[in-house]
Copies of this chain bind each other. A is one copy, B any other.
Amino acid sequence: MSSIRIAMAQVNPTVGDLTGNALLVTEYYKRARERCAELLVFPELVITGYPPEDLLLKPAFIEDNLQILRELAGKLIGLTTVIGFIDKDERGIYNAAALIHDGSVVGVYHKMFLPNYGVFDEKRYFKAGTSPLNFILKGFTMGLGVCEDIWTPEGPAHLQAECGASVIININASPYHMKKAAMREEMLIERAAANDVTIVYNNMVGGQDELVFDGHGLIIDSDGAVLGRAPAFEEALLVHDLRVREKKRDQDKDGGCNTVRTIKLSPLKQERSEVSPCPVPAASIAALPGPCEEVYRALVLGTRDYGHKNRFSHAVIALSGGIDSAIVAVVAVEALGSENVTCVFLPSKYTSAESREDAVELANNLGVELLSLPIDDILGLYLKGLAPFFKGRGTDVTEENLQARIRGDIVMALSNKFGWLVLTTGNKSELSVGYATLYGDMAGGFSVIKDVPKTLVYEISEWINKSGGSAVIPRRIITKAPSAELKEDQRDDDTLPPYEELDAILRAYVEEDRDIREIQAMGYSEDLVKEVMAMVDKSEYKRRQAAPGIKITPRAFGRDRRMPITNRYKGWH
């Protein structure tokens, strides 16, 4: 058995930053050369970042990406490189992988299976490729694929394997959700066994608006053994000496395989041994993080990248003394550094002494600045001005929303004055049922825990305290009953069912499209299920104006769930 040294560059490109992404490629190229790699693999669409969305409709953007690829190719000498880019022909554009050998593009593969579900809109932009591609390097026959090509059992891998591929190189921009890494590993083990191939699966890493790419690149052999696993949520260069028994190509038997193009790469002029003595790479198999750590690190990476890629160095968060703003502050400090986070405490007469103490303690624990500004006087002046219009009407949710909006105004004023990114603190449970104020607590640039259900907020908070070795988040923040503190003695459970029940119903309804009978069968009363379904449906208008936030569940709000606002479907008769 011969061997080939493969380097997977798990990198973090930025959408639209063609020049910056090209620099990233050359940086990892240099690192791969230092490690004597023979085959270097970059993620899907690494030149443009993923997803470029409607930038893909701009002809100049496509041309610029082609120009960058041409410029890069000439620099990638001395090894073979696989690199994601956008190709173009008279039929349209393609999500493509270039095969660059010693400074020249020697082949291009067009993604054949285009995802057009969930957050994906690839059929909006791309034509589907029709021609699988193998290449032969140092005697290894390898098939090239892009993302969905390997997710689909009907993908090109079986044709590629039939035509002699013993290795499938699959490049990805596969976004994170909880447990996705384990799902992916299972899927790849299945696919590797079914096609009797080793799969080299390289994923992008980094945050892009609502998506986080978790990296987690994998090399898996046909027996299901994990030969390499890149770390989660960080850039990495995974170097691995691959040893594979070459298969006989079926075409040797029957002359077939004309459905797969095969490119035979010439040996490199400069052999590995001539460059420099490189040690044999040690096995590189990163551990999988646990469930809470996984989500936490996704939130940190998503927040850091949203901030930095949009050129915000500093964030501001309104601390209420409650658990949602606490976890957001912890994430922000880890993402941006404590010196780059400012917290504000905006109490009203309904704010408890405990909330103030807890906010102060949290800010101290995190080492962040805490500004304070009571809102009662401003509220009073609004209510005085509105009194003539409100005559004869009782107090209702109007006065509560006004408090939230005053806080929103103050936080936005700080943002405007200092160029700070406002991180909003609402969780998925609240946003699902509309227990949030538009332009109030929903005001801000990025919504860190937008897709984290309240019950998971608690679990992660416990994990944060445990993993840190001390209660960064003051104990009482976790144990006290949650309250919006917008009127006297208010508690969330005055208005909402207990979060354990609410979150279970929401998962079934929002993420799994269960109908009313199925949800009742989980053990909930018809009235409760109807109430929750109706709350979700009628607050769609709020979600449409919500800040973007990090997807961590199989179905997030935003591009992932496209519901009409005008919608009279109730789901029962």
Please give the residue numbers on chain A whose beta carbons come within 8 Å of chain B beta carbons, in ascending order.
14-18, 20, 51-55, 57-61, 64, 116-117, 121, 123-124, 207-209, 305-306, 309-310, 371, 373-374, 377-378, 381-382, 385-386, 389-390, 393, 396-398, 401-402, 405-406, 408-410, 412-414, 416-417, 438-439, 443, 445, 513, 515-516, 541, 544-548, 559, 561-571, 573
Contact = CB atoms under 8 A, between A and B. Distances in A.
Copies of this polypeptide in the complex: 2
A565 B310 contact: yes
Contacts of A14: 566, 568
A51 to B, nearest CB: 7
A60 B515 contact: yes
Given A53-B564, A55-B567, A209-B564, 11 more contacts: A15-B569, A16-B569, A121-B121, A208-B564, A374-B385, A378-B382, A382-B413, A389-B414, A398-B417, A412-B438, A412-B439
Contact of A59 (B373, B513, B545): B513
A546 B15 CA distance: 23
Given A413-B402, A417-B396, A310 B566 contact: yes
A316 to B, nearest CB: 10
A104 B215 CA distance: 55
21 contacts: A16-B568, A20-B568, A53-B563, A55-B563, A59-B513, A61-B569, A64-B569, A64-B573, A123-B123, A207-B566, A309-B568, A373-B386, A378-B382, A378-B385, A382-B413, A386-B417, A405-B405, A409-B409, A544-B547, A544-B548, A548-B565
Nearest to A381: B378
Contacts of A412: 401, 405, 438-439
A85 B439 CA distance: 38
Contacts of A567: 15-16, 55
Contacts of A402: 409, 413
A16 B513 contact: no
A551 to B, nearest CB: 14
A500 B232 CA distance: 51
A310 B20 CA distance: 46
Contact of A381 (B306, B377, B545): B377
Nearest to A377: B381
B382 A541 contact: no
CB-CB nearest 7 A-B residue pairs: A16-B569, A60-B515, A17-B568, A398-B416, A439-B439, A16-B567, A16-B568
Contacts of A52: 564
A571 B371 contact: no
Nearest to A55: B569
A569 B18 contact: yes
Given A116-B123, A416-B401, A545-B546, A564 B16 contact: yes
A183 B544 CA distance: 32
Contacts of A385: 373-374, 377-378, 410
B515 A59 contact: yes
Contacts of A390: 417
For A52, A117, A568, the residue with the greatest tally of chain B CB atoms inside 10 Å of its CB is A568
